[in-house]
Amino acid sequence: MTSSPLKPKPSLAPKPRHASERLYGRAKGKPLSPTQIQLMEQLYPKIEIDVSEMGAPLNGLSEFKEVWFEIGFGGSEHLIWKAKHAPDCAVLGAEPFLNGVCKAVTQVDAQDLKNVRLYLGDARRVLELLPDGCLDKVFVLFPDPWPKARHNKRRIITDDFVTEMYRVLKPEGKFRFASDIISYVDWALVRIHNHGGFTYPHKASSDWRARPEDWPSTRYLEKALREGRAGHFFEFIKA
C-alpha cells in the first residue's frame, strides 16, 4: 500500500549535519505525489550515497572511469544531463531539498541511469567521508547567495570548504563554479584565490561570461536571465 503523500516517512527527511552550521533554507516544498513517494521509498535507497564511514561514499563505484560530485543540484537538470552524456562516469549529487532529490530520482528512473548516486542532506557530510584525491570534478552551480550580510556565513563557499574540496580532488581535478550574483562571484573568487591551490587558465572576461557547450542550462539560470542577471561560469584546476 502506498504511503500518504501528505506525510512522507521520517526516512525521507533531509539528513542534517550540524544545525548551527545550516547552509540552506526550507527542506521541502509541496507534498509529494503517491508515485513520487513510491520512488523515494523504493528506488532512492538503492542509489543513496553511503555515509556510514570514511570512504563509504565511493562504495560500488570502482567500475566507473571518473567520479564527479555536484553539490546542491537543485532541480537536477545539470546532474541528469551530465549522467546521461557520460555513462562511464559516476555522478554523485547532494541536495537538502526533498523535492529536488525527488526530481532527480524520477529522472534516474525514467532514463534508466545507472551512474547516479544521491544524498538527501548536507553535502559536507559526504565531503568529510571522501578520501584524499578521489574526485575528478566538483560542481557548485548557482548556490544560495545568502545576500544579507548577517547570513553570509551560510554561504557554501568558505575558506574551509575550498580547503576540503582541494583535498578530495585529484591532481588536475576540476572545480566548476557558477553564480548570477556578482557579489557572490567576488566572494568566491577571493576565497579560491587566497587558498592558492587552484589555477584558472582563462584570462579574458568573455571566458567566464560564456557558458561552455558541455555545461547545460537550467531552469534557475533561465529565470535569472529573464530577470536581467547574467550567469558567470568558472572552471578551476587543482594545481
132 a catalytic residue: no
Cα(187)–Cα(140) distance, integer angstroms: 14
Q: Which of 50, 109, 144, 207 is catalytic?
A: 144
What CA–CA distance (Å, rounded) separates 61 from 58?
6
Other C-beta atoms closer than 10 Å to the C-beta of 217 total 13
Confirm if 236 and 192 have CB atoms less than 8 A apart: yes
The grid cell for 103 is 526530481
Residue 175's nearest CA partner among 222, 83, 239, 121 is: 239
Q: What is the rounded CA–CA span in Å between residue 118 and residue 217?
A: 21
Q: In which order are the strands placed within the sheet that holds 169-179? A: 116-120, 89-95, 66-71, 135-141, 169-179, 232-238, 198-199
Total residue count of the chain as it appears in this document: 239
Catalytic residues: 144
